[in-house]
Amino acid sequence: LQERIGNQQVARLVRAGVVVPGAPIGRVILARAPAATPEAPVAADAKAKPLDDAQVKDAIAWYRSQPKRYTPEIITEIQKQVGAPQTGTADEDTAQAVAVFQGKHPPLKVDGKAGPRTLPTAFQIGLRSTKSTAAYIAKAKTIAADWVKLGSAEERAKALLAAANEQLAAAKVPPVTPALKDEVGELAHFAFQTWTMVLGKKAFAKNTITDDEARAAAATVYHEARHAEQWFMMARLLAGQGLKKKAISKRLNTIPEDDVAKPAQDLPLAKGSMEALIAQGWFDSVYGGGSAHRDEVLSRLKRTARATEAKQKVFDKKEADRKKKEAALTKAQDDFSNDPSAANGRKVQAAQAALDAAQKSEAAAAKDLAAAQERENQAIHDTVDLPEETDAAMTHAPVKAGSATP
Partner 1 sequence: VIDTIEDLSRRLSESALSPRQVADGLGTIIADHGAGSDLVVRPNDAGFSEARVMRKSTSDEPAFVELSLSDGSSLSVADLTARFGEYSIAPMSHGEVGRPIVFDLERPGLPYRCTLIAQVEPGAEGLADAHVLSVIIRRDTNSDD
C-alpha torsion sign, points 159, 186, 17, 358 = positive
Contact in structure between 248 and 263 (CB atoms under 8 Å)? no
Side-chain-side CA neighbours of residue 141 (13 Å):
14
Beta strands in 165-233 (DSSP E): 177-181, 188-191, 196-200
Using rule CB under 8 A, residue 291 touches partner 1:
yes
Determine phi and psi for 189, rounding to 5 degrees.
-150, 155
Identified binder of partner 1 from the candidate list 70, 190, 204, 336, rule CB under 8 A: 190
| Region binding partner 1 by CB under 8 A among candidate stretches 27-35, 122-130, 189-197, 345-353 | 189-197
By beta-carbon proximity to partner 1, the closer residue of 253 and 341 is: 253
Nearest CB to partner 1, comparing residues 99 and 379: 379
Q: Is residue 240 a contact residue for partner 1 (CB under 8 A)?
A: no
Rounded Cα gap, residues 5 and 12, in angstroms: 10
Q: Check binding of 256 to partner 1 (CB under 8 A).
A: yes
- Residue 183 binding partner 1, by CB under 8 A: yes
Q: Which of 158, 236, 325, 396 binds partner 1 (CB under 8 A)?
A: 158
Selected binder of partner 1 within 295, 334, 339, 356 (CB under 8 A): 295
Here's the x/- map for partner 1, 364-393, by CB under 8 A: it reads as -------------------x-----x----
Options 130, 287, 352, 385; binder of partner 1; rule CB under 8 A = 287
Decide: is 245 part of the binding site for partner 1 (CB under 8 A). yes
Sign of CA pseudo-dihedral 185, 187, 190, 195: positive
CB of 119 or CB of 188, closer to partner 1 = 188
CB of residue 16 vs partner 1: minimum separation in angstroms? 24
- Give the one residue of 298, 328, 371, 404 binding partner 1; rule: CB under 8 A: 298
280 near partner 1, judged by CB under 8 A: no
3-state secondary structure 245-307: HHHHHHHHCCCCHHHHHHHHHCCCCCCCCHHHHHHHHHHHHHCCCCHHHHHHHHHHHHHHHHH
Rounded to an integer, what distance in angstroms lies between the CA atom of residue 115 and that of residue 387? 9
* DSSP-assigned letter for residue 269: P
CA angle 150, 153, 154 (to 5 degrees): 85
Contact 166, 135 (CB under 8 A): yes
Selected binder of partner 1 within 71, 241, 254, 273 (CB under 8 A): 254
Binding site for partner 1 (CB under 8 A): 1, 154, 158, 174-179, 183-184, 187-196, 198, 227, 244-246, 249-250, 253-254, 256-259, 286-287, 291, 294-295, 298-299, 301, 383, 389
